[in-house]
Amino acid sequence: MAAVGTSVPRRDGREKVTGRTAYIDDMSFPGAWHGVVVRSPVAHGRLKGRHLDPAFDWSQVVVVTPEDIPGENLVHEIIKDMPLLCDDEIQYLGEPLALVAAPTKDLAREAAGYITFDIEELPSIQTLKEVIAQYKTDEGKLHKFCAQTIVKGDIEKGFEEADYIIEQEYWAGHHEQAYLEPQGLVAVPGEDGSVLIEGSMQCPYFVALELLPTLNLPPEKLRVRQAPTGGAFGGKEEFPTWLGGYVALMAMKSKRTVKLIYDRHEDIRYTTKRHPSWSRYKTGFKKDGAITAVKVEFFLDGGAYGTLSSIVLARGVLHAFIGYRCDNVFIDGRVYRTHSFPCGAFRGFGAPQAIWGLESQMDLMARACDMTPHAFRLRNAVVPGDTTATGQTLAECEACGTVLERTLEKCDFEAKLARCTRGAQDADTWYGVGLAFFAHGSAFTGDGEARFKAKAALDLALDDAERPVVLIRCSSVEMGQGAHTVLPQIVADGLCADLRFVQNPLPDTALVPNSGPTVASRTTMIVGNTLYGAGRKLKAKLEAYASARFFESQAAILKDSVFSAGHDRVDFEEVALAYLKEHGPVRVEHQYELDPKIAWNQETFEGDAYPSYSWGCNVVELEIDRATLQIEVKKVTGVFDVGRVINPMLAMGQLEGGFLQAFGYALLERIGVRNGAYDADRFQTYIIPTMLDAPPFDFEFMEYPYTFSPPGAKGIGELPIDGLSPAVANAIEMAAGIRMTEIPVTPESLFEALRKQVKS
């Protein structure tokens, strides 16, 4: 019986639904102290001095300042520009200047109030709006963290060939991950100078490796364990490394276990968000709809430090023109500094911002040449053999056109299009339907997986009840997405044994090889395949053993948890027990092999940008109440190719959850920056959708497996957040006859746009 393809119930489901799962703040650490972060009150300034008020009894607490950092005062991310604790030029409001640990959180907070700083405040630039205004007049004054271009063909020639040229700017704001469990870590110092960090995170090895130079520890002295993690969505990708630095420093100086748990307010104010974006599309096309030139400026607000913005930018530019044919493409991507909290990873990682612009622009072009949105897309959609903007020849992309066509058929798009009110003044309710078609590159960019060399292992061992168990050993985490159910399904099929023999303990860097960070829609596809390989190796090992031990050296085959040779049969359990008795526990390890045909130039961004792509198409139907301009999404229809679907129920959950997050991004979730601080900084003001906001979702999968990596999964995690925003804006134009170019689209912004339209 194959486990892959069946809707096995979530392994962690019962514990979580019944509230029995212990998250890091639920765990008992007797005698633990509590840490707080002391932050900058200004957005930009020079730190001149620090004072500990003698009115406070400092013997009760431990204060950590930059001088206490044993190694380099630097966070080792991709762009290495951020100190762990600021000791010179402050770059954002809330930047950590010191840490305080105390026996209680109240005392730590009280002590923090007695630390004062001399700061010379400097002028700041706080928003992307200011950056873009500056860019349009005098770019030289801006601080650029990184840039990346993609060049294909001759853009000027492309515009010369065009019958029409359209230019439009698109804006997207900050976006908070809003995981259920806020950030939290605990650090436990060892007597030998070692440190254990445990808590909520996506990437245990980021914490374990990136902090070594900062803490000045050898690898064996820093151990990291993931605790059950209540949602992450990228928010716990790089940020726990910073938090781990804070909590480890406090533990090392106090020589005590220290807990550092953010409450919701602190979490929204002082953790990473999705990068705000501005993009300007200038596209040329012929009367028959053929696109001849695509020029994109794709700029991100990086916040105060570079951190991992360069790879967010990379994924952004790689999705700025995707899914369609065009011989002349020029994409200019940049990330600029603002004096606001550094932006970071969030599901989609630059792609949702890019596709927001691209799929809005597609509708503008369709209208200009008097074609329907779907006919224009079908006219330009890639087919096998076409090349992408980076020159990648798409081989396995049968899905792209069929996903689009199936969606149109599924929701009867043409009939719905005919019903659209297009701003009719006599309608009480406006009705519109909008389409977006998109792809998401699976796994690390280019040949990243070949350079990373993900490793995963299986341990055959005895469990507490002395029964044989196969333990998954990898650093990829369960964070709500279902890895702890899906990975065992894949292992069971690789091994050809029942799922009940496979367990997936929480990762501990002392015990697991580095299968990489839990990011980039790579876990099921890349780590799943690696574990599948390990399963195959363990199967071969046990077959060889069984052959010698039970079948008088006849070749044995393991299938459906039974070894057989000729007519003789022995259960998996009996063979495993005998093996363990004879040899003790055994580990088999496997390393991911990237398709050797993947060729990528990281400098020029030419070649195979991703080993494979997932495809999606979604259609939004909405109504707008003319009296209030409230926008009600009535239904979302979607068709998705994510390769082989490992667990249909969980995959559908990924889609629906991702779409609800995309719904908030498109229509509700808004953050402004005022005086350096987010103006929406708690759930009272940062508005995420509720169950009643959620429209009916009518989704289905079309399976085009990734044939190179059994069992053939492609990425699913990020795809569902990519395409809703432009479909909403496209539907709004069909309903209200006006093009919205900034998300979230709210009744207020729609009112403002309609008022301007009436005036002009």
Least distance (Å) from another protein to the CB of residue 751?
5
User: Among residues 691, 188, 640, 582, which one has the least CA distance to residue 403?
Assistant: 640
Examine residue 679 and tell whether it contacts another protein (CB under 8 A).
yes
Examine residue 129 and tell whether it contacts another protein (CB under 8 A).
no
Closer residue to another protein (CB): 113 or 584: 113
* Strand intervals (E) in 55-129: 62-64, 89-90, 96-102, 115-121
In the shown chain, the binding pattern of residues 237 to 276 toward another protein, with x for contact by CB under 8 A and - for none, equals ----------------------------x-----------
Question: Which range touches another protein (CB under 8 A), out of 225-233, 503-511, 700-708, 747-755?
Answer: 747-755
* Residue in the block written with tokens 């698109």: 170
Question: Which range touches another protein (CB under 8 A), out of 281-289, 364-372, 500-508, 624-632?
Answer: 624-632
How many residues bind another protein (CB under 8 A)? The answer is 24
User: Among residues 72, 65, 69, 66, which one has the least CA distance to residue 101?
Assistant: 65
User: Which neighbouring-strand residues pair with 118?
Assistant: 49
Burial 197-234 (b: 16+ CB within 10 A, else e): bbbbbbbbbbbbbbbeebbebeeeebbbbbbbbbbbbb
**61 burial via Cβ count (<10 Å: 0-12, 13-18, 19+):** buried
Closer residue to another protein (CB): 500 or 674: 674
Closer residue to another protein (CB): 205 or 686: 686
Closer residue to another protein (CB): 255 or 674: 674
Question: Which range touches another protein (CB under 8 A), out of 155-163, 373-381, 403-411, 691-699?
Answer: 691-699
Question: Which range touches another protein (CB under 8 A), out of 127-135, 369-377, 395-403, 746-754?
Answer: 746-754
Closer residue to another protein (CB): 425 or 684: 684
Least distance (Å) from another protein to the CB of residue 680?
6
Closer residue to another protein (CB): 50 or 105: 105
Examine residue 630 and tell whether it contacts another protein (CB under 8 A).
yes
Contact 278, 170 (CB under 8 A): yes
Contact 624, 630 (CB under 8 A): yes
Distance CA 62, CA 35 (A): 9
Closer residue to another protein (CB): 601 or 683: 683
* Four-residue CA torsion sign, 731, 737, 742, 744: negative
Least distance (Å) from another protein to the CB of residue 594?
44
Choosing from 369, 439, 668, 745, the residue that interacts with another protein (CB under 8 A) is 668
User: Among residues 479, 353, 401, which one has the least CA distance to residue 641?
Assistant: 401
Closer residue to another protein (CB): 156 or 263: 263
Contact 186, 27 (CB under 8 A): yes
User: Among residues 338, 404, 38, which one has the least CA distance to residue 174?
Assistant: 338
Closer residue to another protein (CB): 18 or 690: 690
Examine residue 690 and tell whether it contacts another protein (CB under 8 A).
yes
Least distance (Å) from another protein to the CB of residue 222?
35
- In the chain, what's the furthest Cα-to-Cα distance? 91
* Residue in the block written with tokens 């359209």: 166
Least distance (Å) from another protein to the CB of residue 693?
5
Distance CA 330, CA 151 (A): 5
Contact 361, 281 (CB under 8 A): yes
Closer residue to another protein (CB): 418 or 692: 692
Examine residue 747 and tell whether it contacts another protein (CB under 8 A).
yes
Choosing from 55, 415, 418, 627, the residue that interacts with another protein (CB under 8 A) is 627
**How far lies 161's CA from each of 101, 168, 280, 381, 492, in Å?**
66, 20, 20, 19, 56
Choosing from 142, 378, 687, 738, the residue that interacts with another protein (CB under 8 A) is 687
Least distance (Å) from another protein to the CB of residue 633?
10
Closer residue to another protein (CB): 449 or 681: 681
Examine residue 41 and tell whether it contacts another protein (CB under 8 A).
no
Distance CA 445, CA 718 (A): 14
DSSP states of 651-694: HHHHHHHHHHHHHHHHHT----EETTEES--STTTS----TTTP
Closer residue to another protein (CB): 206 or 665: 665
Closer residue to another protein (CB): 26 or 679: 679
Chain centroid offset of residue 42 CA: 30
Question: Which range touches another protein (CB under 8 A), out of 191-199, 610-618, 690-698, 709-717?
Answer: 690-698
Question: Which range touches another protein (CB under 8 A), out of 49-57, 472-480, 566-574, 688-696?
Answer: 688-696
Distance CA 681, CA 679 (A): 6
Distance CA 601, CA 446 (A): 8
Least distance (Å) from another protein to the CB of residue 692?
4
Choosing from 81, 508, 693, 698, the residue that interacts with another protein (CB under 8 A) is 693
Distance CA 360, CA 740 (A): 9
Near another protein in 87-106, by CB under 8 A: 106
Examine residue 682 and tell whether it contacts another protein (CB under 8 A).
yes
**How far lies 119's CA from each of 183, 461, 575, in Å?**
29, 58, 70
Near another protein in 108-127, by CB under 8 A: 109
Q: What are phi and psi of 689, to 5 degrees?
A: -70, 150
Number of other CB atoms surrounding residue 149 within 10 Å: 12
Least distance (Å) from another protein to the CB of residue 612?
37
Closer residue to another protein (CB): 121 or 263: 263
Closer residue to another protein (CB): 110 or 700: 110
Choosing from 26, 121, 463, 748, the residue that interacts with another protein (CB under 8 A) is 748
Distance CA 348, CA 371 (A): 30
Closer residue to another protein (CB): 571 or 748: 748
Between vectors from CA 301 to CA 276 and to CA 733, what angle results, nearest 5°? 30
Question: Which range touches another protein (CB under 8 A), out of 328-336, 594-602, 675-683, 737-745?
Answer: 675-683
Distance CA 284, CA 290 (A): 9
Examine residue 758 and tell whether it contacts another protein (CB under 8 A).
no
* Residue in the block written with tokens 């205004």: 133
Examine residue 755 and tell whether it contacts another protein (CB under 8 A).
yes
Choosing from 22, 118, 752, 757, the residue that interacts with another protein (CB under 8 A) is 752
Where along the sequence are the contacts to another protein (CB under 8 A)? 106, 109, 265, 627-630, 668, 679-680, 682, 684-685, 687, 689-693, 747-748, 751-752, 755
